[in-house]
């Protein structure tokens, strides 16, 4: 019966739309605070730094420091102002600020020169970085618009947290507490990808994924699990899963996997 239900699920047929055209439409669920410089994009709500659409690893304090500099680009930001905004309720020494500045410059690599040091006073993001970009402001990779992500997890708190994260970067999200709930309540089209918990009541995520494969339903799956082991992850990846992530899931890792799942392969 389950295989029959899977076979009867309709195949997505959403028309392709240009990324520029899609972004010209008003989107209330997009992150209006997105900041762009050179080939980077900062998503403050998701706390993510992208370079050419690829997520970069960056520490929490270094990320906050980058946001402060971006919001004040072209203007000197004193050490006192930085400390108040990055460490609002903590007493810190100058060495802490220097360590985080070094970490930020390391993340930026060859582009670290855009951060200027004014000895004894503070730092400044070079003014030339604010030139009008020749590409759309929003800098997620070109995917079908809007990307629809289904989350199947029996933990309500996990579902709600991931819902907030994905909505903050402009994705549509559908929430389900189990596989039967997904099969009964999914919309008229399959989602673009599924974030699937391994341990679910009734049918497990791994078994459901194997059902999808047998039914020849191509549905990108990203596994998440709080009880992962090597055989479990090997089974998932051999079955064609996009990624296998352990809980608590790092936001950057999940967003990177979803973008990989929903970005069309080059033709």
Domain residue spans of the chain: 2-19+140-262, 35-130
Beta strand pairing status for 193-197 and 221-225?
parallel
Q: How far is Cα of residue 25 from the mean position of the Cα atoms in its chain?
A: 21
pTM: 0.52
pLDDT of residue 5: 62
| 33-59 pLDDT tens trace | 688 888 888 888 888 898 887 889 999
Instruction: Give the DSSP H or E segment for 244.
Output: strand 243-246
**Are 130 and 173 a contacting pair, CB within 8 Å?**
no
Check whether 13 has a pLDDT greater than 70.
Answer: no
CA pair distance 65, 81, nearest whole angstrom:
11
Candidates 10, 27, 252; CA nearest to 136 is: 27
Beta strand pairing status for 40-43 and 35-37?
antiparallel
pLDDT of residue 138: 40
Check whether 29 has a pLDDT greater than 70.
Answer: no
Candidates 179, 247, 251, 266; CA nearest to 219 is: 179
CA pair distance 247, 44, nearest whole angstrom:
22
Per CATH, the architecture of 2-19+140-262 is what?
3-Layer(aba) Sandwich (3.40)
| 97-113 pLDDT tens trace | 889 999 999 999 988 88
Average per-residue pLDDT for the chain: 79
Candidates 177, 156, 144; CA nearest to 17 is: 144
Q: Tell which CATH classification among 3.40.366.10, 3.40.50.300, 1.10.530.10, 1.10.10.10 matches the domain 35-130.
A: 1.10.10.10
| 191-232 pLDDT tens trace | 999 999 999 998 999 999 999 989 888 899 999 998 878 888
Percent of the chain with pLDDT over 70: 78
Candidates 178, 106, 226, 202; CA nearest to 194 is: 178
Q: How far is Cα of residue 130 from the mean position of the Cα atoms in its chain?
A: 24
pLDDT of residue 194: 96
pLDDT of residue 142: 42
User: Using 50, 70 and 90 to split pLDDT, how confident is the model at 180?
Assistant: very high
Check whether 144 has a pLDDT greater than 70.
Answer: no
CA pair distance 211, 7, nearest whole angstrom:
10
- Give the long-range contacts of residues 103-107, CB within 8 A, separation 24 or more: 103/58, 103/59, 103/61, 103/62, 104/58, 104/62, 104/65, 104/66, 107/49, 107/56, 107/57, 107/58, 107/62
Check whether 183 has a pLDDT greater than 50.
Answer: yes
Q: Read off the tokens for 125.
A: 């993001």
What's the length of the chain?
267
Q: How far is Cα of residue 235 from the mean position of the Cα atoms in its chain?
A: 25
């Amino acid at each position: 019966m389950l295989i029959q239900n899977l076979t009867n699920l309709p195949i997505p047929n959403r028309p392709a739309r240009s990324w520029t055209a899609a972004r010209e439409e008003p989107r209330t669920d997009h992150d209006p605070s997105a900041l762009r410089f050179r080939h980077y994009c900062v998503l403050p709500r998701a706390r993510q730094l992208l370079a050419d659409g690829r997520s970069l690893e960056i520490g929490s304090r270094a990320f906050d420091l980058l946001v402060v500099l971006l919001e004040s680009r072209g203007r000197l930001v004193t050490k006192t102002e930085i400390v108040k905004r990055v460490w609002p309720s903590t007493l810190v020494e100058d060495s802490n600020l220097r360590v985080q500045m070094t970490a930020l410059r390391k993340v930026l690599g060859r582009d670290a020169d855009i951060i200027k040091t004014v000895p004894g006073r503070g730092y400044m993001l070079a003014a030339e970085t604010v030139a009008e970009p020749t590409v759309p402001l929003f800098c997620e990779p070109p995917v079908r618009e809007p990307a629809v992500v289904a989350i199947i997890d029996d933990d309500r708190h996990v579902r709600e947290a991931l819902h907030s994260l994905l909505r903050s970067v402009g994705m549509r999200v559908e929430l389900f507490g189990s596989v039967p709930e997904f099969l009964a309540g999914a919309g008229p089209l399959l989602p673009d990808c599924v974030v699937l918990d391994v341990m679910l009541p009734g049918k497990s995520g791994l078994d459901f994924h194997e059902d999808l494969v047998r039914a020849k339903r191509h549905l990108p799956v990203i596994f998440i699990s709080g009880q992962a082991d090597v055989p479990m992850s090997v089974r998932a990846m051999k079955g064609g899963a996009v990624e296998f992530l352990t809980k608590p899931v790092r936001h950057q890792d999940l967003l990177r996997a979803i973008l990989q799942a929903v970005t069309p392969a080059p033709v």
